[in-house]
Copies of this chain bind each other. A is one copy, B any other.
């Protein structure tokens, strides 16, 4: 059926078809142009609603394209236009569901803007050089970096190649914009909440120092405590994951009751959940014996056994602003780096005693 016996063209033998034709019969702009009897450029322009193409031609071509099941080849377009429509994304460890939720949101919002996400890296391990190279190979228009850690490598590569970067849930370093929750303010709010709730001996389950957002939360929290004439009763490292939080909870549970804190600030929900579980297993009641507050508001924080009082990160808004920033810099790379902080919202649940009660 397909051009049955090739008619030898006037210009002589056209060596069509390599060993195997790469695009197996998929319709291209050239196909369409032949069908429509116009040039390839006209088809290209008609398809992207160039105002210079007449209404009639445009409709005719559009109809033809639909009928032929035409899909533009993103690779050819990129080669020609320099824009890939791809956003690289570096994801933090799935051990923290926050990143999974972030991913889902990012995929949806990027799609709504006509962009796709190329996963550069996911997980806790270090990001290899070869991996980061993919960013360049695939000509990503921009890059989203969510991992609170391990990012600098990718950032440098992007910066060196003029790829705009936005960090989400992370404090900006050099050469990058960032969107984050106002972590310090969230920390302060939690400190006020606990102190107003009558807590005085407060333990902190911190993330590793390389987590910039975690450090901010700690900073705000301690700052506020100090302003209220208190200081943290203890600081422990929960490693950023459930198990670490659990271990901290065990430590706390081991303390004699009179030396035990009356509240725990978990720098992230997962760690707080670990700590809560350890406490309860040790027979310590939450919140009757110890209050627990945290940060993130992941889905599990609302599960009945936890009912975690926490600062909700405005995930949707963070992704939205992040993409705004990225797209703006893709259009105009001369824009200066920008850091946005979005206010989190305190979600009061049952894991901490409240002022009134």
Contacts and interface: CB of A to CB of B under 8 A. Distances in A.
Interface string A68-104: 0101111110111110111000000111010011011
B100 A26 contact: no
Interface stretch (A136-144, A181-189, A338-346): A136-144
A71 to B, nearest CB: 4
A86 B75 CA distance: 11
Contacts of A111: 121, 128, 130-131, 134
A108 interface: yes
A155 to B, nearest CB: 16
A303 interface: yes
A75 B79 contact: yes
Contacts of A303: 242, 246, 274, 277
A69 B251 CA distance: 50
Q: For chain A, which range describes its interface: under 10, 10 to 19, 20 to 34, or 35 or more residues?
A: 35 or more
Most buried by B among A22, A103, A305: A305
Nearest to A116: B134
Contact of A22 (B81, B94, B97, B101): B81
A95 to B, nearest CB: 7
Contacts of A116: 118-120, 134, 138
Nearest to A82: B22
Contact of A304 (B84, B120, B277): B277
Given A75-B78, A97-B97, A305-B305, A107 B122 contact: yes
Tell me how many chains of this kind the complex includes: 2
A75 B71 contact: no
Contacts of A104: 93-94, 122-123
A75 B118 contact: no
A159 interface: no
A179 interface: no
A97 B101 CA distance: 10
Given A94-B97, A280-B305, 14 more contacts: A20-B82, A72-B137, A74-B134, A75-B79, A86-B138, A94-B103, A95-B299, A97-B97, A100-B100, A104-B122, A116-B118, A116-B120, A116-B138, A242-B300
23 contacts: A24-B162, A26-B161, A71-B136, A72-B137, A73-B79, A73-B139, A74-B75, A75-B79, A75-B139, A76-B79, A85-B137, A97-B100, A103-B103, A103-B119, A107-B121, A107-B123, A108-B125, A117-B118, A118-B119, A242-B303, A277-B305, A281-B304, A281-B305
